[in-house]
Amino acid sequence: MTTTHNADFGLSQNRALSLIDSVRARIAQAHVYHQTVRSLSALSDRDLRDLGLSRAMIRSVAKEAAQAA
């Protein structure tokens, strides 16, 4: 009986660790997204054009950066 209980606990622990890893990854992605938006928003329109970007593209570029992280 103890073996079954330990096996169930191990499975629950694995699920909990997986959930924690998932939350950490989402937080890291959110950090990359917000940092990218802040950095690109701080650039002048001319600097953005030099990068081939417009202000309208900032959020989509940040989303791509966050997904790649």
Arithmetic mean of pLDDT, 7-22: 82
Q: Are 37 and 7 in contact (CB under 8 A)?
A: no
| Dihedral angle, C-alpha 29, 31, 69, 67, nearest 10 ° | 40
Higher pLDDT, 11 or 50: 50
Has residue 7 got a pLDDT over 60?
A: no
For range 46-56, the mean pLDDT: 98
Number of H-type helices and E-type strands within the chain:
3, 0
What's the pLDDT at 65? 97
The whole-model pTM stands at 0.78
